[in-house]
Amino acid sequence: MRDAVGLEILTRDECLRLLTKAPVGRIAVTERGLPVIHPVNYVLDGDHIVFRTSAANKLAAATRDAIVAFEVDEFDAQRHTGWSVMVTGRASAVTDADKLNRLRDLPLTSWAPNRPQHFVEISLDIVTGRRVPVPDGLSG
């Protein structure tokens, strides 16, 4: 299925598969009434996106029971193709001790030098995606 400009509309299952392919995504939050985007290392954990941050920073405050947007993509500039997956959901701090212990065992490594220990999860309420098809003559 394609949208009005010819982009392939991805199924939810394909979007979830692609969410496992990139180590960095971008979370859009509201800070002081304005939209702000933060890159984060993340992992897909069942029906949630999980990332780490410092409990004392602006990102932790901005994601406290807030509706957020999350985006991940990949592109090939040479072949003029790529894909993008967008998620809208509620972000919340993980506080349950058993869940925190399980999350610490996930393959989630923050690139931040201080190794943040505050976990935030985003529900997968709305998941959409698009793919730019490989132009004719460039396949292969």
- DSSP per-residue string spanning 27-76: EEEEETTEEEEEEEEEEEETTEEEEEE-TTSHHHHHTTTEEEEEEEEEEE
Helix or strand holding residue 91 (H, E): strand 81-93
Hey, what CATH class is 8-131 in?
mainly beta
Q: Please choose, from the candidates 138, 129, 140, the residue with its C-alpha nearest in 3D space to the C-alpha of residue 25.
A: 129
Determine the Cα–Cα distance for residues 104 and 84; give it in Å rounded to an integer. Answer: 28
pTM: 0.87
Tens of pLDDT, residues 24-71 = 999 999 888 899 999 999 999 999 999 988 877 778 777 888 999 999
The pLDDT, as a whole number, for residue 139 is 54
Question: Which tokens sit at 58?
Answer: 């602006």
Helix (H, G, I), strand (E, B) or coil at 128: strand
Which residues face 23 on adjacent strands? none
Give the count of beta carbons closer than 10 Å to the beta carbon of residue 26: 15
Range 106-118 average pLDDT: 78
Which residue has better confidence, 115 or 19? 19
Taking the domains of the chain in order of start, what are their residue ranges? 8-131
